[in-house]
Amino acid sequence: MISVINLRKIYHGVTVLDIPSMGIDHGESFGLVGNNGAGKTTFFRLILDLIEASSGEVKIDGEKVARHDEWKSKVGSFLDESFLIDFLTPEEYFNFTAKVYNKSEGDVSQFLESMKEFFNGEILGSGKLIRDLSKGNQKKTGIVAALISDPQVLILDEPFTALDPTSQIRLKRMLNELKTTKKMTMLISSHDLNHVTEVCDRIVVLEKGNIVRDIRTSENTLKELESYFAV
């Protein structure tokens, strides 16, 4: 589904990401962990063609990502608040996003109805602009907008940050359902080792831009990760 070949990003002479080879299979839930500055967000931005690689390439379904558009209809993503159009209401933003993917009003209504539990009565009908929402509700808005196209690939950077405990639990449940029912390929970064091990079948640890662990999730994975980061 996603292949990475000799991918490198260099800023001001410093290599911040260096991945010689990696593949992510269709339907795989892929977790990415690492300390601040490990290269997690850089990696996601390269996959989404938001920044240019210093060398190497990313392919989605065999299609080169850089300077191409064919793959974009397959991918939903939310990395940070810069993805939002904050002078719109959530409803306006969802409708705008849906139109980009040629979704009908009926499609949008049905989809948003399915998100009611996750919204918890705090997003729709408030009359607030996105910029006036709490950080947690901005995060919810971005995550839901990433899903509105029913993507084959979902990329989320720190999706649990700023969410209250109830919303974190509901998000984990929703991601696991998407993995099971839709076989959606998911790439999720998180500083929360517990959350990522509960959602992801495979976890990669980045350190200074390099892959230092590539683990298939098991009952021992959380302890293994905690031991690694405790050093």
Percent of the chain with pLDDT over 90: 98
Q: How many residues does the chain have?
A: 231
> 82-93: per-residue pLDDT in tens?
999 999 999 999
pLDDT for the residue numbered 129? 98
Is the Cβ–Cβ distance between 195 and 172 less than 8 Å? yes
Which pLDDT score is estimated for 196? 96
User: Whole-angstrom Cα distance, residue 33 to residue 67?
Assistant: 27
DSSP 180-207: HHS--EEEEE-S-HHHHHHH-SEEEEEE
- Going by C-alpha positions, the residue among 71, 74, 36, 53 that lies closest to residue 158 is 36
Place of tokens 């990313």: 58
* pLDDT of the residue at 195: 96
Q: How many other β-carbons are positioned within 10 Å of the β-carbon of residue 11?
A: 11
Q: Which one-letter DSSP state was computed for residue 68?
A: -
For the domain bounded by 2-84+153-230, which CATH number is listed?
A: 3.40.50.300
pTM of the model: 0.96
Contact 51, 42 (CB under 8 A): yes
pLDDT score of 163 = 96
Average pLDDT over residues 5-26: 97
The pLDDT value recorded for residue 59 is 97
Q: What pLDDT score does 153 carry?
A: 97
- Residue from 150, 147, 78, 75 nearest 118 by CA: 147
The whole-chain average pLDDT of the chain stands at: 96
Confidence band (pLDDT; 50, 70, 90) for 231? confident
- 37-84 pLDDT, tens digit each: 999 999 999 999 999 999 999 999 999 999 999 999 999 999 999 999
pLDDT of residue 120: 92
Question: What is the tens place of the pLDDT at every residue in 104-156?
Answer: 989 999 999 999 999 999 999 989 999 999 999 999 999 999 999 999 999 99
Are 43 and 19 in contact by the 8 Å Cβ rule? The answer is yes
Q: Under a CB-based contact definition with an 8 Å cutoff, are residues 198 and 29 in contact? A: no
User: Rounded to whole angstroms, what are the CA distances from 17 to 8, 42, 171, 212?
Assistant: 5, 7, 29, 12
Helix H or strand E segment including 139 = helix 135-147
Residue 105 Cα distances to 19, 60, 87, 207, angstroms? 42, 29, 21, 44
Q: Tokens representing 41?
A: 């967000």
CA distance 131 to 90: 10
